[in-house]
Every structure is written in C-alpha cells, then in structure tokens.
Chains A and B, each alone.
Chain A
C-alpha cells in the first residue's frame, strides 16, 4: 500500500496562507492524492484531490510535484475554524475498484489569532 508522511503539527497565523506538506514517494502512476480534514468529534471532511495537475476549489489548492512524490495543500487565508487534523491520503484500489482510504496520523494544524 502506498504510504504518506506528514509533519505531526503546524501553526499558522489567522489570515495567512497555511501550507501543509505531504510525502508519497511510493505512489503509483494511477493513484490519486486526497486531502481530508477532521475537526474534533466530527467525521472527516473531503477537501480536494488530484492526480498530477494542480487543483483548486473553493476550499483549497493542491500542488503536486512533477514526479508526484510529494504534494502541498494550501489554505489561502486560514481562519480559526480551519484548526483541525489534516490527512493526506493515497487511495488504494482493490479488485472491486471501490478503493479504500488509508488514513495516517495526519497533521494537526493550529490557527492562531
């Protein structure tokens, strides 16, 4: 299974961009990178995903390196409500093509006033 490595914690000032890195050096050519976040006592919330091109949506941007061995999630203007555990996940597909998510320990992002 492809694995990801993330720093255990990061701080960010409110209103500034939060850049969360992720290493996935064993990723296969057809595996997507997904980002989720989880606020305490809630279910994981989907943020964004990508294969090899950079992606942007209303929540965040995803930058994937050309060799696809790492990526960065960017929250352009962090707010206190963005304080959460952020998970970078490479999806693994089995024979049924449903794909299970393997959550690691994630990065705890603390946004400070």
Chain B
C-alpha cells in the first residue's frame, strides 16, 4: 500500500512565525502535491512538484513556498504565518503516468494564533 506520511497531525503556531510542514512518501512517486482544505471551499492546490528540485505553482501559492531536495520528501513552508492560513493541509503523491491516482496523507490541522 502507498504510504504518505505528514509530520504532524495538529500544529499550533503564532502569527509571523516561519512554519514547516513535512511530507514523505514511500512509493518512489515522481509527483507530489500540497493542498489546503477549508469548509465550503473544498481542496485547493497550493504547489506541486514533478521531480526533485522542480516545482510549479498551483491555484493559491501566495504566502507559501516549497522545497523538494529528495524524491520522497516535499516540504511546504509558510514564510510568515498569518491567521488566514489556519487550515487543514494535505499532501499527496502519484506516479508520473498521467492517469494514476493521487494518494493522500492524513493531513495536518494547522492553527495560527
């Protein structure tokens, strides 16, 4: 089975802090994704990566950056956390083959105070 592991289930940070969310997958997938999920808005794509050191902006990249130094690890960085970044953050991975599904981790519920 595919395993996508997110480093924390719950996280509380303060406004202005730099926040790191980590995601690791064990299936040698080329593609990795970061989404955020908010009530009434569904899942929205923040960034994705299709190879090591490669990244592309999703629909809502403002205020975020990402890092992919190793194939199995994809990090989401909140440069200066703000209260409107309080959300559920979901990481996903998939193989490069176009129709293969994305597999999700259990999410990190992040609260910015």
Contact = CB atoms under 8 A, between A and B. Distances in A.
Given A44-B90, A104-B42, A105-B42, A97 B103 contact: no
Interface stretch (B13-21, B43-51, B70-78, B79-87): B43-51
Contact of A46 (B58, B59, B90, B101): B101
Interface string A30-46: 00101010000111111
A101 B102 contact: yes
A102 B33 CA distance: 13
A43 B42 contact: no
Given A103-B43, A105-B42, A96 B101 contact: no
Contacts of A42: 106-107
Interface in B8-57: 31, 33, 35, 37, 42-43, 45, 48, 50, 56
Interface string B90-113: 101010101101111111010000
Give the contact-size bracket for chain A: 20 to 34
B109 to A, nearest CB: 8
Contact of A43 (B50, B58, B90): B90
A36 B35 CA distance: 15
Contact of B102 (A41, A46, A51, A96): A46
Q: Of residues B35, B96, B104, which shows the largest number of chain A Cβ atoms within 10 Å of its Cβ?
A: B104
A51 B106 contact: no
Contacts of B56: 96, 98
Given A51-B99, A93-B98, A100-B58, A45 B104 contact: yes
A49 interface: yes
Contacts of A104: 42
9 contacts: A43-B105, A46-B104, A96-B48, A98-B31, A98-B33, A99-B94, A100-B45, A100-B59, A101-B45
